[in-house]
Amino acid sequence: MQSAPITKYRPFPPVDLPNRQWPSRTLAQAPIWCSVDLRDGNQALAQPMSVEEKVEYFEMLVKIGFKEIELGFPSASQIEFDFIRRLIDENRIPDDVSIQILCQCREELIVRSLEALRGARNVIFHLYNSTSPAQRKYVFGAQRADIVAIATQGIRLLRQHAAPLIAEGTRLRLEYSPESFTSTELDFALEICEAVSDVWGPTPDNKIILNLPATVEYATPNVHADQIEWICTHLTRRDSTIISLHTHNDRGTGVAATELAMLAGADRVEGTLFGNGERTGNLDIVTVALNLYTHGIDPKLDFGDINGIREVYERTTRMEVHPRHPYAGELVFTAFSGSHQDAIKKSWEKQVPGAPWDVLYIPLDPADIGRSYKAIIRINSQSGKGGVAYILEHEFGYQLPKLMHKEIGRIINDLADTRGSELSVEDIHGVFRSEYLERVTPVSIEHFKTLERDSTVRCEAAILLEGKRLVLAAEGNGPIDAFVRALLQAGLPRFDVNSYSEHSLGQGAEARAVSYIQIRTAKGGLFYGAGIDTNIELASIKAIVSALNRSIARG
């Protein structure tokens, strides 16, 4: 990197917009969406999609709710030409969906593109040419007037050659892009857009789409919003024009730039699912749409099965959605931090059905987009007691007493520290079972029964103590009290029952009881035990044995 002063790069010039309105506006509705996955996204793939994969992807986009879908560049690629023909010939395009194609302002390319569109009901013909000073200087060696002439001649040629298609019943709309709009002088961008509109002659009932691309993202999002508002306020035929956005993500702010430009007056947004595209990618429509949704705005797109959408995307594009990708990433509804886990658990438990969503650290209910609650809390060495308790409850049904959270949390954290990696829910369940439910040394129970005598209960039990069978009997004010007395009479270390709780595990005839008992040893140590059985009485006896074994194992 160049040392200061940095002279290799220049700040992007601000827009002279003294009365800008967008900062005080609020988004209230979704834009017109146009997916460019099958063109802009596809061209950026190391292995572009096959026709079969494109058909599957197109049908997914229709199911999501896109009404405008750019299919490709049929004049430049035979596979894209064949794909478009297949959709039309097999009648796969719904009546309310407009297909869009991209084309340069050259006659032979316009003619070839129109051949691909024969028989289509609704078409957006997207013409473009480059307009920035750098493009004019380095690529075309042309002046402003020459660039305007390229654009307007392209519009005239489209009008001429599209006449038979329109006569056959195709509704054809024009989209024009001054490519590299954001690095083009605003007055020239306006000039060429006005010239194109003059030739096309849009009306409020048949609007032109002026697409203003951030082909390369050079400026901060607020400057992009200023550029869009400047055009919107200076355009002659604003009521006959749809202002469209096409942001890229070179500065990593494509989403922010799009949202601010929508405030600035844009009507339409082009982008791709998960932001696939050249270099750093296109605008991520999933993120913008679900951002609107979390503000109570209907996005007009259905991402209720985000996992299924991600599966098709990853399989057909050979790209992977990043684990931290907003909304769709594997880990975005996941908390490893102990304090976060505790806050999530407490706020989730207090949600009232029908009330506004208000769970800490999770801005959107994962269920709304088909995500599982399982992934919300995951465990590593940074996790807390609440996270472990959450998993044991939501995955396996154990409703641990509050005071037990710390104990099991410490055990799980020690294991995570030792492994140095994340623990799966199966790991956590396995540790819980081996620590609390499956301990059989030094004490295991073979037989237990009780007999009631007036206000007392007599227990009779057979246990194995370090492999030796002992038959015990004692009386108490209940089964637990009687069994504790029997154990103490057998010479086991003294302890008292400190707390007891239980709940059912499962429902119906197959339901079992789970008991949790905390004991206090003669030395003041506190240990929990747990037991499961179809008989609630026996579950509590198993919990006592579990706690006793744990206390003996720890001296």
Q: What is the pLDDT of residues 67-117, one digit of tens each?
A: 999 999 999 989 999 999 999 999 999 999 999 999 999 999 999 999 999
pLDDT at 506: 82
Averaged pLDDT for residues 157-168: 97
Cis peptide before 5 (omega within 30 of 0): yes
Per-residue pLDDT tens over the stretch 26-74: 999 999 999 999 999 999 998 999 999 999 999 999 999 999 999 999 9
Specify whether the CB–CB gap between 326 and 332 falls below 8 A.
yes
**Structure-token pair, residue 518:** 């905390």
**Structure-token pair, residue 425:** 């829910």
Specify whether the CB–CB gap between 521 and 549 falls below 8 A.
no
pLDDT at 379: 59
Asked if pLDDT for residue 387 goes beyond 90, the answer is no
DSSP 3-state of 67? coil
**How many residues are listed for the chain in this entry?**
555
pLDDT at 417: 81
Tell me the β-bridge partners of 210.
176, 243
pLDDT at 295: 97
DSSP 3-state of 479? helix
- pTM for the model stands at 0.76
Per-residue pLDDT tens over the stretch 197-224: 999 999 999 999 999 999 999 999 999 9
| Residue 297 identity (one-letter amino acid) | I
Give one word for 77, left, alpha or beta, with left for phi > 0 and alpha for psi -120 to 50: beta
DSSP 3-state of 103? strand
**Domain architecture of the chain: domains with CATH:** 33-317 (3.20.20.70), 338-437 (no CATH), 443-553 (3.30.160.270)
Residue 89, number of CB atoms within 10 A of its CB:
11
pLDDT band for 142, please (50, 70, 90 cuts): very high
pLDDT band for 383, please (50, 70, 90 cuts): low
pLDDT band for 374, please (50, 70, 90 cuts): low
d(CA 380, CA 335): 10
Question: pLDDT: is 554 or 58 the higher one?
Answer: 58
**Structure-token pair, residue 90:** 């097999």
Least confident of 115-124, 311-320, 341-350, 429-438: 341-350
Buried-exposed string 232-269: b where 16+ CB fall within 10 A, e elsewhere: beebebeebbbbbbbbbbbbebbbbbbbbbbbbbbbbb
Averaged pLDDT for residues 487-510: 89
**C-alpha closest to that of 125 among 219, 7, 211:** 211
pLDDT band for 378, please (50, 70, 90 cuts): low
Burial of 4 (0-12, 13-18, 19+ CB in 10 A): exposed
Specify whether the CB–CB gap between 378 and 493 falls below 8 A.
no
- Mean pLDDT over the full length of the chain: 93
pLDDT at 43: 92
pLDDT at 496: 94
Averaged pLDDT for residues 235-263: 97
